[in-house]
Chains A and B, each alone.
Chain A
Amino acid sequence: MKFAGKRRIGALIAAAAAVSIALAGCADTGSGSTGSTDAAAEGSGDLSVTFVPKNLGNPYFDASSTGGKAAVEEFGGTFNEVGPAEATPDGQVSYINTLTQQQVGSIVISANDPSAICSALEEAKSSGVKVVTFDSDTDPECRDVFVNQADAEGIAKTQIDLIADQIGGEGQIAILSASANATNQNAWIELMEAYLESDYPDIELVEVVYGDDDDQTSFDKTSSLLQTYPDLKGIVSPTTVGIAAAARYVDTSEYKGQVAITGLGTPNQMREYVESGTVEAFALWNPEDLGYLAAYTAQALIDGTITGAEGDTFEAGKLGEYTVGADGTVLLGDPFVFNKDNISDFDF
């Protein structure tokens, strides 16, 4: 036992040493990669901008980070992206704390929960870090500026303009929504009805059906809509699940080419239907532009051009001038329309 024991000490020490060397190696590599951040932070007034997406490895946020990175490179700052592997608020809090410790210039974050990350962001703010939310906001007092992708009016108007254009300005249409009590969906539908009434009197909205953001339910609802209304000329689906299911149904049915499908969708889901001609055009915001604008907003906050007060204006590179609206919100603009010509430029 005595000798075995001694060997055991040796083995344990060796193991401990091996692990700690490995760890030291990792730590060194890590700090090596932040070297550029350090230099920039010292040189040019802390233009280090760190994006914190809802989770890493999400194509939507990969696109927004691409835009953010492009903007940061334009204004000569340093770009970084960190975040949890799972889209959880507690995971984000750890990263916000880390960035507070690192004293980065700005955190650009899409919140997994409107209030759970609030106090961590407030701590960051009070230690001098500028906080920009994009895509998904927190409570207004926890951040400096929210970069909003699109407002409800713009979303409603774009979709109605798209369907009107595709059916020639007259005829019956239906709406395939998510669930009957989805707040944002209902707000959009109300605005769409009002806009139809004022601008397109020849278009008749025959029914609003709910697919519950379930692919099969949305598929079945599309089928029954088309059988119930033989003269139906178009379906608007303001939800990515709904529009994809509706397009899939029409793509393989006798209604292909007869019934227009539009609404809010993602390019990757809709690509095959746009290429096959079932869907002419649909809308969503451009996440790359959203990230680009959010990064420029961070810069404007860091260099003091804006404070987040209503009426502040700043330049956002290729996107032009923006004004801070009520509640410290910056609006990207009307939704982006995807069609056969531009869909291949997007991957999310």
Chain B
Amino acid sequence: MTTTDTTREPTPAEAAVGAPARVIAPFGRPAWKRLLISREMAIVLLLAVVALVAMTAVRGFAQPITLTYLLMDIAPILLIALPMTLVMITGEIDLSVGSMVGLSSVVTGVLVQAGVGFGVAATIALLVGVLGGAVNGFLVTVVGLPSLAVTIGTMALFRGLAVGLLGTAAVTSFPAEWTALAQAKISGTPLPYIMLPFVILLAVFVVLLHFSTFGRGVYAIGLASDAARFSGVRVERTKFLLFVLAGVVSAFAGIFFTLRYGSARGDNATGLELQVIAAVVLGGVSVFGGRGKIYGVVAAALLIGTLSSALRLANVTSDVINIITGVLLVLSVVLASVIDWVQLRRARLAAAKAARVGTKTTPSPTTSSPN
């Protein structure tokens, strides 16, 4: 396209060839249009539709307390999904987060039971989160093992430690002011207090991912790790930091979980990692890394929460709820791949056609060189 007169409108065939056409301003989609047709926006729209349907069709849904219960239920998912989004954009995964929630819960419980003040116990639990994340990060970045294998291992390890420390017992003697805080609403609103730290963390992660060099590095690692390294991204350091963040946020979620139910147990939050990953994938983060946005993930977590809240209120049984959320997840992943495949195929066909047409009529440098 370098030779093309920019005042001339390229033919659709030329546009379909791909990259070169996209840089020409009149044919790039405007920002609002890109936003509207993105996968993330589809989830936001779906969330709005589900919420509307639930409010009109499900008895008991359209009341403020619904929002309170819903947010409290998904708060651990919302919190952990933030670092998980970044981890998965780099093409890695952390399956140990649910076990870290359990471990931090048990550490807090055991310390409180031993007479340590709650503040100190919670701080130590957060440090355990840092340590656990660092173990994951070390094994992935320094030893160079695949994160799937490493975190399957630490998932079992953290859960084992949690159950080992407390057995099948539960610690329930937490200071009443703390458990009350975890269940309280910000006065005058239906929002639980856990939304305050969530909003702060949300701001931190949005800036980190979408408005910083660090964030561009995260995407670059997911798209092409080696290319990122050659362009100066500190791949290992970035990944290590992300695993530590996942660990510490999971530990924080564990403390909230413990206070919300007033109970520290080794089996707390079993299976939470899958719910978090489901929200992240549904929210448009590619399992292969390189793409995804935080608002899509937040919308997806809210969608899952709204859906299960509405279905429970409609007396749909828990196994059917699992089936529906599972189908939604599979559909979202399958649809994304099908759309990608169709687009790729169409672009290839168009390119081939353009090449044929191009050689007959107006040969140009762009159309004569296949991708």
Residues of A within 8 A of B (CB): 1-5, 7-9, 11-13, 15-16, 19-20, 22-24, 26-31, 33-34, 37-38, 56-57, 80, 82-86, 88-91, 93-95, 97-98, 100-103, 113-119
Contact = CB atoms under 8 A, between A and B. Distances in A.
Interface string B324-354: 1000100100010001001100110000000
A82 B61 CA distance: 17
A127 to B, nearest CB: 9
A119 B46 contact: no
A64 B343 CA distance: 56
Nearest to A35: B59
A98 B72 CA distance: 13
The 3 closest A-B pairs by CB, nearest first: A30-B314, A116-B263, A116-B261
Nearest to A3: B12
A230 B355 CA distance: 96
Contact of B328 (A19, A33, A82): A19
19 contacts: A1-B15, A1-B22, A2-B15, A4-B343, A11-B339, A24-B53, A24-B57, A27-B310, A56-B317, A80-B315, A84-B318, A89-B263, A94-B69, A97-B69, A97-B73, A102-B313, A113-B263, A116-B262, A119-B262
Contact of A113 (B16, B42, B170, B342): B170
Given A15-B42, A82-B312, A97-B73, 13 more contacts: A7-B342, A15-B335, A16-B42, A23-B50, A27-B58, A30-B314, A31-B57, A31-B59, A86-B271, A89-B261, A101-B66, A102-B60, A113-B265
B212 interface: no
B307 A23 contact: yes
A115 B314 contact: no
Given A20-B49, A24-B53, A116-B170, A8 B314 contact: no
Contacts of A102: 59-60, 313
Contacts of B313: 30, 98, 101-102
Nearest to A102: B60
A218 to B, nearest CB: 19
Interface in B158-207: 170, 172, 179, 183
Nearest to A30: B314
B322 interface: yes
Given A12-B42, A102-B59, A102-B313, A118 B262 contact: yes
B50 A8 contact: no
Contacts of B347: 1, 4
B66 A94 contact: no
Contacts of B225: none
B162 to A, nearest CB: 14
Contact of A1 (B18, B49, B61, B265): B18
Contacts of B331: 15, 19
Nearest to A92: B261
Given A24-B53, A31-B314, A101 B69 contact: yes
A34 B262 contact: no
Contact of B16 (A3, A11, A37, A103): A3
B154 to A, nearest CB: 22
A228 to B, nearest CB: 31
Interface residues of B, number: 66
Max chain B C-beta neighbours (<10 A), residue from A1, A11, A80, A86: A1
Contacts of A116: 170, 172, 261-263, 265
Contacts of A101: 60-61, 63, 65-66, 69, 313
A94 B311 CA distance: 12
Nearest to B318: A85
B45 A83 contact: no
Given A31-B59, A102-B59, A90 B42 contact: no
Given A16-B46, A102-B313, A119-B179, A26 B60 contact: no
B107 interface: no
B318 A9 contact: no
A114 B318 CA distance: 22
Contacts of A28: 57
A70 B57 CA distance: 30
A115 B315 CA distance: 25
A84 B270 CA distance: 13
Given A28-B57, A113-B265, A4 B16 contact: yes
Nearest to A57: B319
Contacts of B37: 5, 8-9, 12
B269 interface: yes
